[in-house]
């Protein structure tokens, strides 16, 4: 009860739907319960190197735990209500509704959902939290880095066949409010999207699935609190640009305010039974903002030996820094200003290679034990190795 | 923990049971307007890729309970997935609202009784349990 009352305002929609659902469902008595659990631990090789995967200590810590419960029930013949509640160790086990929606089966092959949904950014977005559903402990962080996992809105989902192929298509519209840690420094920035919309489609047959997705949104991130030399904060710097240097256009290129951003993804997933493979590539276009153009991808291959799966993944981030200094005439007296702007922009561009090797052992049906080693080569922050383990179940 | 012990126990039982190499029959209601289904048709129904029989009538697949020898043989032969892969496949759909796995309906007798009473249902049972109350549309040797 404490958890529910402490939920912040952003949870109110999900909560309202949950409560609306709860009344008729309690009477219907035909609820489906399912759940998943992940208990994970890890350590880094060098405490002086950069933190990665949420680990920054040389001693093994078990603080990557997650419990999820999904409850769904039929409100009527064609109307289903679903809520998925998760509690994460990293959020102090505060109960959060990741999904809470009403689903209307419009035709045999298509449904319309309204409420809080998972944003279909990636190939594994839908079951991101359900580690049991894939080979890694969690999908490669270089690519699965977007903080906006959910969206409050509506979507349309349909499955069809095209000749001998199976297809799916999803389109959604909505928005989301969140807090994110842009600089990985423990300071949370307020963020929101509005007019967020996107489409995702898959084409597959038996052992392979191709996927592509495209999203756009108006994005706000309050970056004014980011600390920087001389000016103290990025907000002070932007004010100085506007008021002292009379460069409001360049101040605008720093701030993330109603910037029209886009995100594109292509992917291929293969599972022949003996061999598994996945390739995914994403690009984020930041419009006129401090944020970099993110270009990220990974390729994974693995082999099953009975109840064991061994996999190898190469992932990469190669961002292009933005140019908030564009338009300032180059002169000796503007050089420090240009330098400061370029430095701030460069701090947002990640240039990193990661090689991961891991195993998955299916202990019993519904339970997998996983080990993983990530060898991180960050061109700006240095090298790191991360050793992690997780026990993941579905029930 | 109890579940874990159960799972270990069923795994052991299963190991013994599968040594019998029993034939599994895929069954539908006797009134069905077709006499056979291809492995691909059946696989699509049990993996949630299709919701109707090739002729167009609605189809409701039912599983045997986890750990049954017929279920494991069926999943391996038709769905091309072992018990863990089958579970992982469905966990990709269950937690997204994109699909619901076939209900676990019990053993040979329970599945046979359900299919015999429901013209939309399709199930599988040990071939030795087949009688006139159901129609066999596919056999897994």
CB A307 to CB B84 under 8 A? yes
Among A127, A151, A368, the strongest candidate for a mutation testing the B interface, having the largest count of B CBs within 10 A, is A127
Strand-pair category, A150-162 with A275-285: unpaired
What pLDDT score was predicted for residue A338?
Answer: 93
Residue boundaries of the structural domains of chain B: 2-140
pLDDT digits (tens, 9 = 90+) for B50-87: 889 998 899 999 999 998 999 999 999 999 999 999 99
B95 vs A157: CB contact, 8 Å cut-off?
no
Query: Residue B28 is inside which H or E element, if any?
Result: strand B24-28
Mean pLDDT within A254-267: 95
**Cα dihedral B122, B125, B131, B133 sign:** negative
Q: Which residue of B has its CA nearest to A72?
A: B97
CB contacts, 8 Å: B84 with chain A = 307, 362, 365-366, 368
From the list A296, A286, A309, A394, the residue with the least C-alpha distance to A354 is A296
* Beta-carbon separation of A365 and B52 below 8 A: no
Q: Can you give the residue ranges of every domain in chain A?
A: 2-394
User: Which chain B positions have a beta carbon within 8 Å of A368's beta carbon?
Assistant: 84
Which of B85, B91, B97 lies closest to A82 in CB terms? Answer: B97
Which of A17-26, A86-95, A139-148, A293-302 has the weakest average pLDDT? A17-26
- Are A300 and A333 spatial neighbours (Cβ–Cβ below 8 Å)? no
The interface pTM score, or ipTM, of the predicted complex is 0.82
User: How many percent of chain A have pLDDT more than 90?
Assistant: 73
Subunit contact B97:A32, Cβ cutoff 8 A: no
Q: Would the CB atoms of A32 and B4 count as touching at under 8 Å?
A: no
With 0-12 / 13-18 / 19 or more C-beta atoms within 10 angstroms meaning exposed / middle / buried, residue A351 is middle
What phi, psi does A389 have (nearest 5°)? -140, 150
Contact B100 A32 (CB under 8 A): yes
The predicted model gives B105-131 an average pLDDT of: 95
Residues 6+ apart with CB under 8 A from A76: none
Domain B2-140 belongs to what topology? D-Maltodextrin-Binding Protein; domain 2 (3.40.190)
The pTM score is: 0.86
Residue A108 has pLDDT above 50, yes or no: yes
Give the per-residue pLDDT at A5: 38
pLDDT band at A7 (very low <50, low <70, confident <90, very high): very low
What does the alpha-carbon distance between residue A357 and residue A370 come to, in Å, rounded to a whole number?
A: 11
- Cα A134 to Cα A137: distance, rounded to the nearest angstrom: 8
Find chain A residues with C-beta within 8 A of B7's C-beta.
364-367
- CATH superfamily, region A2-394: Porin (2.40.160.10)
Q: How far away is chain A from the Cα of B95, in angstroms, using its nearest Cα?
A: 6
CA atoms within 13 A on the CB side of A348: 27
Closest residue to B80, CB basis, from A84, A103, A273: A273
Name which of A111, A127, A271 is nearest B91 (Cβ-Cβ).
A127
Strand partners, A159: A168
Q: Residues 6 or more apart from B78 whose CB is under 8 A from it? A: B26, B39, B42, B43, B46, B140
Nearest CB to A365 within list B50, B84, B98: B84
Interface test with A, best of B84, B93, B99 (most A CBs within 10 A): B84
User: CA of A1: how far to CAs of A4, A7, A382, B135, in Å?
Assistant: 5, 10, 44, 53
Of B25 and A230, the one with more pLDDT: B25
Count of CB pairs separated by less than 8 Å, A with B: 73
Closest Cα in chain B, distance from residue A166 (Å): 8
Residue of higher predicted confidence among A154 and A6: A154
Q: Is the pLDDT of residue B14 over 60?
A: no
Of chain B, the percentage scoring pLDDT greater than 90 comes to 73
Cβ contact B73:B140 at 8 Å: yes
- Closest approach of chain B CAs to the CA of A387, in angstroms? 24
Question: DSSP E strands: which ranges in chain A?
Answer: 31-44, 66-74, 79-88, 95-105, 110-118, 150-162, 165-180, 189-205, 208-221, 227-228, 232-233, 256-271, 275-285, 294-305, 308-318, 351-364, 367-378, 382-394
Interchain CB distance below 8 Å, B97 and A362: no
pLDDT at site B21: 65
Is the pLDDT reported for residue B17 higher than 90? no
**Phi, psi of A238, rounded to the nearest 5 degrees:** -65, -40
Lowest mean pLDDT, pick from A244-258, B4-18, B80-94: B4-18
Average pLDDT of chain B is 87
Residues of B in Cβ contact (< 8 Å) with A365: 7, 66-67, 83-84, 87
Within 10 A of B123 (CB to CB), how many other CB atoms are there?
A: 30
- Please judge whether A394 and B80 are an interchain contact, meaning their C-beta atoms are less than 8 angstroms apart: no
How far apart are alpha carbons A370 and A373 in whole angstroms? 10
B92 vs A103: CB contact, 8 Å cut-off?
no
Grade residue A186 by pLDDT with cuts at 50, 70 and 90. Answer: confident
The number of beta carbons lying within 10 Å of the beta carbon of residue A184 is 11
Chain A contacts of B11, Cβ < 8 Å?
A: 364
Nearest Cα neighbor of A1 from A66, A116, A94 is A94
């Amino acid at each position: 009860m404490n958890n529910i009352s402490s939920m912040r305002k952003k949870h109110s929609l999900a909560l309202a739907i949950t409560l609306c659902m709860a009344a008729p469902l309690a009477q219907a008595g035909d609820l489906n319960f399912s759940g998943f659990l992940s208990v994970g631990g890890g350590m880094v090789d060098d405490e002086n190197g950069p933190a990665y995967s949420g680990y920054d200590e040389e001693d093994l810590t078990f603080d990557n735990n997650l419990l999820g419960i999904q409850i769904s029930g039929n409100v009527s013949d064609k109307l289903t209500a679903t809520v998925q509640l998760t509690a994460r160790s990293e959020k102090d086990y505060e109960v959060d509704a990741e999904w809470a929606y009403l689903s209307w089966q419009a035709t045999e092959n298509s449904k319309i959902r309204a409420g809080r949904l998972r944003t279909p950014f990636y190939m594994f977005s839908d079951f991101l939290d359900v580690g049991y559903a894939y080979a890694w402990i969690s999908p490669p962080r270089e690519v699965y880095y977007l903080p906006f996992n959910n969206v409050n809105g509506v979507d349309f989902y349909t499955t069809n066949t095209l000749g001998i192929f199976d297809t799916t298509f999803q389109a959604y519209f909505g928005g989301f409010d969140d807090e994110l840690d842009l600089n990985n420094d423990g300071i949370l920035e307020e963020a929101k999207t509005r007019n967020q919309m996107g489409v995702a489609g898959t084409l597959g047959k038996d052992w392979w699935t191709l996927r592509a997705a495209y999203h756009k949104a108006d994005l706000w991130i309050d970056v004014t609190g980011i600390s920087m030399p001389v000016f103290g904060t990025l907000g002070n710097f932007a004010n100085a640009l506007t008021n002292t240097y009379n460069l409001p256009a360049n101040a605008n290129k720093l701030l993330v305010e109603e910037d029209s951003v886009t995100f594109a993804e292509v992917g291929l997933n293969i599972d022949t039974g003996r061999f598994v493979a996945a390739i995914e590539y994403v690009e984020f276009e930041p419009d006129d903002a401090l944020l970099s153009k993110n270009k990220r991808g990974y390729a994974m291959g693995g082999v099953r030996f009975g109840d064991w799966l061994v996999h190898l993944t190469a992932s990469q981030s190669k961002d292009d820094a933005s140019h908030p200094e564009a338009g300032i005439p180059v002169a000796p007296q503007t050089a420090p200003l240009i330098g400061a702007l370029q430095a701030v922009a460069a701090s947002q561009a990640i240039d990193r290679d990661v090689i991961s090797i891991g195993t998955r052992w299916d202990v019993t049906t519904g339970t997998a034990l996983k080990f993983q080693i990530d060898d991180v080569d960050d061109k700006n922050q240095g090298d790191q190795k991360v050793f992690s383990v997780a026990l993941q179940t579905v029930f | 923990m109890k579940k874990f012990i159960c799972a270990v126990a069923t795994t052991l039982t299963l190991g013994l049971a599968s040594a019998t190499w029993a034939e599994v029959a895929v069954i539908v209601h006797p009134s069905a307007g077709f006499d056979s289904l291809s492995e691909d048709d059946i696989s699509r129904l049990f993996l949630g890729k299709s919701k109707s029989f090739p002729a167009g009538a609605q189809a409701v697949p039912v599983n045997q309970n986890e750990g049954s020898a017929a279920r494991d043989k069926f999943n391996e032969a038709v769905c091309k997935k072992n018990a863990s892969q089958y579970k992982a496949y469905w966990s990709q759909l269950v937690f997204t609202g994109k699909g619901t796995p076939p209900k676990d309906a019990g053993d040979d007798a329970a599945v046979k009784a359900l299919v015999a009473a429901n013209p939309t249902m399709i199930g599988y049972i040990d071939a030795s349990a087949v009688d006139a109350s159901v129609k066999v549309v596919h056999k897994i040797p």
